[in-house]
Amino acid sequence: MEIEKIYAELNEKLADAERVLVGLGAEWKVKDAEREAQVMEAKTKLKEMLKGKDYFVISTLSKEELDRFGFIDFKTVAPCDESLTEEQWNGYMNWLSRTLNRKLVILELGEGFLQPTIIRWPFERTVMINQKSCMYRVHKTFYQIADEIKERAFAVKADSVEFFAQWKES
């Protein structure tokens, strides 16, 4: 699918969404100065897109890396970080439970198979259960969608940081 069409469809879905769930994976890790500039540009556009939305961000990055993005703290969780508290995890589970039967847009960004039990598989399960949800999986290598959710899930073969750094609102 053409990238411009993906941006247009995603903008439309986001405008209609009651809730937005974001999963940030390893593609969002800062490795050097050039990548840091891309990540910061993508982060700015992602935050702008989430403004005014009931959102939650879960990430396989460390809490320190996630905090640099400037999301509202009680709307983020980094389960791989040793500082994770039961209260933070319960906050995520509580928010997630309130997405059932709601128009939910799920953005899985840059998550591969290093920790599939944190973002990848739970997101697929959420799409299977919530018939009002849709998911966009953006990854340069592992963008494929399971057959069970292909009617409401979209695969985008692209580096997720570059995808959001070049974000175009309609």
What pTM was computed for the model?
0.95
Q: How confident is the model at residue 3 (pLDDT cuts 50, 70, 90)?
A: confident
CATH of domain 3-55+99-165: 3.40.50
Residue recorded with tokens 């890790």: 29
90 has a pLDDT exceeding 90: yes
pLDDT of residue 2: 85
Tokens of 129: 């259960």
d(CA 144, CA 147): 9
Q: Which has the closest alpha carbon to 97: 56, 155, 53? A: 56
pLDDT of residue 86: 94
Q: Which has the closest alpha carbon to 154: 46, 43, 42, 2? A: 2
170 has a pLDDT exceeding 60: no
| 146: CB partners within 8 A, 6+ apart | 124, 153
In the predicted model, what is the mean pLDDT of the chain? 94
* Residue 104 buriedness (CB in 10 A; 0-12 / 13-18 / 19+): buried
Lowest mean pLDDT among 1-10, 109-118, 130-139, 153-162: 1-10
Can you tell me whether residue 159 is helix, strand or coil? coil
d(CA 153, CA 156): 10
- Which residue ranges make up each domain of the chain? 3-55+99-165
pLDDT of residue 167: 82
In sequence order, the β-bridge partners of residue 153 are 135
d(CA 115, CA 111): 8
Per-residue pLDDT of 29-74, as tens digits, reads 998 999 999 999 999 999 999 999 999 999 999 999 999 999 998 9
